[in-house]
Structure 1
Amino acid sequence: MRYRRLCRVRALAVVALLTAATVGIGTVAGSPVNAPATAEPGSGGMGQVVESHPVTIPSIPTGAAFSAWQLRYVSQNTQGMPWTTVATVLRPANRIEPPVLLAYDAIIDALAPQCFPSDQLQAGIPAQAATGVMEVDMIYLGRALERGWTVVVPDYLGPDGEFGAGFVEGRDTLDAIRAAENFPPAGLSGPATPTAIFGYSGGARGSEFAAELAPSYAPELNLRGVAAGGVTVDISSTARALDGGFSGVLAAAAALGIGRAYPELGIESYFPDAGFRNAVSSSCILQMETSYPFLRLGDHTVVPGGGGLLDVPAVAAVVSGLRAGGYGTPSAPLYIYQAMNDEDAPMADTDQLVGDYCARGVNVTYVKHPGVEHLTGNVAGSPAALDWLGQRLTAAGATTTCGMPGQALIA
């Protein structure tokens, strides 16, 4: 089934590439800035742009002309220590006025820098097909540019690739918004800029957690709405759902990413095979899946005294603290959508999250898509999610599904 789904994703990207022109303005001025760099406290606030250069983006399937820049900006890691990471800003020539901003959290699901959006956007469709990264995301980026939206695409896992660590995903997304608003060539209106956030699957984590963190971490932003689909609500639940399936290796990648964010856990010590650790740490999603299909986490970990990695008390405590809903209460309206046959993000977890939000008075629109699973759920649900964000960016009020049967609409 997974091989068929991957073929569908590739076919969509190829069709879009063949049926729409791609226009990128600007020249590459140096390689992507992915090397870790530490910002000294007091050198500038979160979102400060410390370096920028124009780049060429070769393969977004759109006829809309746009300019593109890569920014290195100040944010922080999971422990709250300043660092710099990278985002790509896309400004369409047909930009609507007054300008609006979309923070687009692309799917990463990996630890290696070449899998991050800053590299993948410049690499183009052939590299994306080989790595399994950003193929469908490129289609939706094209649609956003055609709407006249300025877009910022962050490397929201930071320079260390802290995959699975929710705080870094949310903070680095919010600081990318600040960076775009601080960048004069983007032509935005600073914190007053109407802003939305979008992400699916791995990208939904950054979007979801940014929504929860925004009221306390970035209250100055004019955040009009957040759309997140195929959300990994609970890492432990998703890891158990993936175990032994085609994407089981993603649980190992997330474990290693959390180990980077929380070095005190000593996660690498539970993976005795250095070759396996290095292979996972240096590969993108499709490369991992094809190298280690149907992986069981227990076959690659050793826990003293027996049991699984998620049974280690210190690990379980950290993972429990990374569950969606625990970062804060969103103040912006949310659009959450879910494939009803999702094998990667259990629907029961999303149902529980939405119920919790409704009980807290959050404005949530929850849409379930029958007959599709995780990857095809992206195709089924993301266009409507972008439409919903468009309505929020024009200041239209959002209704809620809270109080409806199951707190949800069936698409």
Structure 2
Amino acid sequence: MRESTVRYLATAVVAALAATATPAAAAVAAPSAPSEVVAKDPFYTYDGDKPLSSYEPGTVLKKRTLTYHIVGIPTPVKAVQLLYRTADAQGRPAANVTTVVRSLRGESSMAVSYQSYYDSLSPADGPSRAVAGDVSLGGVMADSENLFLVPLLLQGYNVVIPDTEGQSADFAAGPEYAANTLDSIRAATRSSADTGMNADTRVGLLGYSGGSIATGWAAALAPSYAPDVNERLVGFAEGGLLVDPAHNLTYVDGSLLWSGVIPMAIIGADRAYGIDLKPYLSSYGLEVYNKLEEHGSLLDALGHYPGLTWKKMMKPQYADPNSVLPFVEAVNKMNLGSAATPTVPGFIAQGGEGVTEGTFSNPAGIGSGDGVMVAGDVRALARQYCATGNESIKYQQYNLLSHVPTAVAWATGAMGWLSDRFAGRTAPSDCGHIPAGNSLTPQKPTSAS
């Protein structure tokens, strides 16, 4: 989606928010924060006397109320932001930020945790920064999602929007996304006077694309990591799923549009799991790595490296991704197929069986997808959930739709499905009718050094 189009649509959302704001929200009048101020905002830093490890996950460390911005434009709506204790991909204590917007229809016992698809290597592109007034290029992705958020607020839900990638922007690190999401819900319910949420608030998980990483992993890890949250979940709705990153890297290899995801994944694995893949990179690969490392968002990568391949990124002896042992270990940790089965109902959607581009329409038997996500992997995950005890799985495949158009089709179905879960209606099931998919077994390293 072009930036000019996003800005036009965002302006329309501003008008919608202004028209529907409650009198209390309209009374909030915090000044807009310029991008450079937001980037240095001390709110994001934990500066307490006690070590973070002394706090329980989900503990609120700081809070503030500010004006909700869209593409830097202030609206009459207020947002509550919370700095809270959580954990990173390696299980170490960390501080993160979430944003809560209260229902535009007044008090609500229902909340949707919306996981953004902001996909970036820069912490400045997180949705909380966009809400506070940042207008960075990467922040345009989060701004565009207001088109999904406004209907939720109008339907009476409180909306929780965590910075799923954490404060170091650990791109694609699913387990960390899950901790950030689940602890965000905990934090929101522990600030009931500000958020309107409490320990009895029922919660639905919603996310597309990068947001599906957080949504899927949160649903999978909630029973073990946050059983207190899991018992209040009504379900999870996700679309455009990343399941097995190793498959996706093969799928986008040589893509004219999506191949920039390859260096983003390499950098994300480096950060999240404390490894160093630079010695494996070719001179060109190192150039791309350095260019994207600090400020690379999806908009910096999308279409900027047409035809890029893993082989071009790496030294000749590492042309096979499975020859790089640290990378294999990292992507196996990011494979959603290796996580536990969620215990709550799920709506899983994927686009593009049959969509092809460039040279990657059927690499290594992986099959096709929506241009970046592999349809066979998503079907396999849904079937796996059904086979391991969760028969409340709805699967929808939008044939011939690529990744971006699928988001629109998915949103309508996902919101309707979540509404039924909040209403207590029996979750539909497609178990037994989902076509076969790919193997989701972990990757095996080869003998290369």
Same fold (TM over 0.5): yes
Moved more, 195-204 or 30-39: 30-39
Q: How does 1:303-314 map to 2 (within 5 A)?
A: 305-314=317-326
Aligned: 1:27 with 2:25: no
Tell me the TM-score normalized by structure 1.
0.88
Once the two structures are TM-superposed, the CA of residue 96 in structure 1 deviates from its matched residue by 4.9
Is the contact made by 1:67 and 1:92 (CA closer than 8 Å) also made in structure 2? no
Moved more, 88-97 or 183-192: 183-192
Equivalent residue for 2:310, pick from 288, 297, 317:
297
Equivalent residue for 1:358, pick from 383, 386, 391:
386
Question: Where does residue 179 of structure 2 map in the other structure?
Answer: 171
Aligned: 1:396 with 2:425: yes
Is the contact made by 2:10 and 2:70 (CA closer than 8 Å) also made in structure 1? no
Question: Where does residue 56 of structure 2 map in the other structure?
Answer: 45
Question: Where does residue 112 of structure 2 map in the other structure?
Answer: 102
Once the two structures are TM-superposed, the CA of residue 358 in structure 1 deviates from its matched residue by 0.7
Once the two structures are TM-superposed, the CA of residue 35 in structure 1 deviates from its matched residue by 4.9
Is the contact made by 2:258 and 2:371 (CA closer than 8 Å) also made in structure 1? no
3-state SS, counterpart of residue 70 of structure 1: strand
Q: How many residues align?
A: 396
Q: How does 1:351-390 map to 2 (within 5 A)?
A: 351-362=379-390, 363-390=392-419
Over 3 Å counting, the alpha-carbon distance change for 1:334 and 1:13 in structure 2 is farther
Once the two structures are TM-superposed, the CA of residue 140 in structure 1 deviates from its matched residue by 0.4
- Supply the distance in 1 between the matched residues of 2:197 and 2:214 (Cα, whole angstroms): 23
Equivalent residue for 1:238, pick from 245, 248, 253:
248
Equivalent residue for 2:223, pick from 205, 210, 215:
215
Aligned: 1:258 with 2:269: yes
Equivalent residue for 2:375, pick from 336, 344, 347:
347
- Supply the distance in 1 between the matched residues of 2:346 and 2:47 (Cα, whole angstroms): 33
- Supply the distance in 2 between the matched residues of 1:383 and 1:163 (Cα, whole angstroms): 27
Tell me the TM-score normalized by structure 2.
0.81
Moved more, 315-324 or 163-172: 315-324
- Supply the distance in 2 between the matched residues of 1:213 and 1:279 (Cα, whole angstroms): 34
- Flag structure 1 segments of 5+ consecutive residues without an equivalent: 1-5
Question: Where does residue 321 of structure 1 map in the other structure?
Answer: 333
Q: How does 1:123-134 map to 2 (within 5 A)?
A: 123=133, 127=136, 132-134=140-142
3-state SS, counterpart of residue 79 of structure 2: strand
- Flag structure 2 segments of 5+ consecutive residues without an equivalent: 19-24, 356-369, 438-449
- Supply the distance in 2 between the matched residues of 1:162 and 1:268 (Cα, whole angstroms): 17
Over 3 Å counting, the alpha-carbon distance change for 1:132 and 1:240 in structure 2 is farther
Once the two structures are TM-superposed, the CA of residue 68 in structure 1 deviates from its matched residue by 0.3
- Supply the distance in 1 between the matched residues of 2:132 and 2:105 (Cα, whole angstroms): 22
- Map Cα deviations across residues 164-204 of structure 1 (whole Å, 9 max, x no partner): 21110111110111111111334445232100111100110
3-state SS, counterpart of residue 350 of structure 2: strand
3-state SS, counterpart of residue 318 of structure 1: helix
Question: Where does residue 3 of structure 1 map in the other structure?
Answer: none
3-state SS, counterpart of residue 191 of structure 1: coil
Is the contact made by 1:40 and 1:82 (CA closer than 8 Å) also made in structure 2? no
Once the two structures are TM-superposed, the CA of residue 27 in structure 1 deviates from its matched residue by 2.0
Is the contact made by 1:197 and 1:227 (CA closer than 8 Å) also made in structure 2? yes
Over 3 Å counting, the alpha-carbon distance change for 1:236 and 1:218 in structure 2 is same
Once the two structures are TM-superposed, the CA of residue 309 in structure 1 deviates from its matched residue by 3.7
Over 3 Å counting, the alpha-carbon distance change for 1:293 and 1:132 in structure 2 is farther
- Supply the distance in 1 between the matched residues of 2:29 and 2:81 (Cα, whole angstroms): 11
- Map Cα deviations across residues 12-63 of structure 1 (whole Å, 9 max, x no partner): 6624633743337452587354457797255321111101111222228xxx
Is the contact made by 1:270 and 1:309 (CA closer than 8 Å) also made in structure 2? no
- Supply the distance in 2 between the matched residues of 1:37 and 1:274 (Cα, whole angstroms): 35
Aligned: 1:288 with 2:288: no
- Supply the distance in 1 between the matched residues of 2:54 and 2:302 (Cα, whole angstroms): 41
Q: In structure 2, give the amino acid aligned to 1:78.
A: A
Bigger Rg, structure 1 or 2: 2
Once the two structures are TM-superposed, the CA of residue 344 in structure 1 deviates from its matched residue by 0.7
Over 3 Å counting, the alpha-carbon distance change for 1:37 and 1:251 in structure 2 is farther
Equivalent residue for 2:68, pick from 49, 54, 57:
57
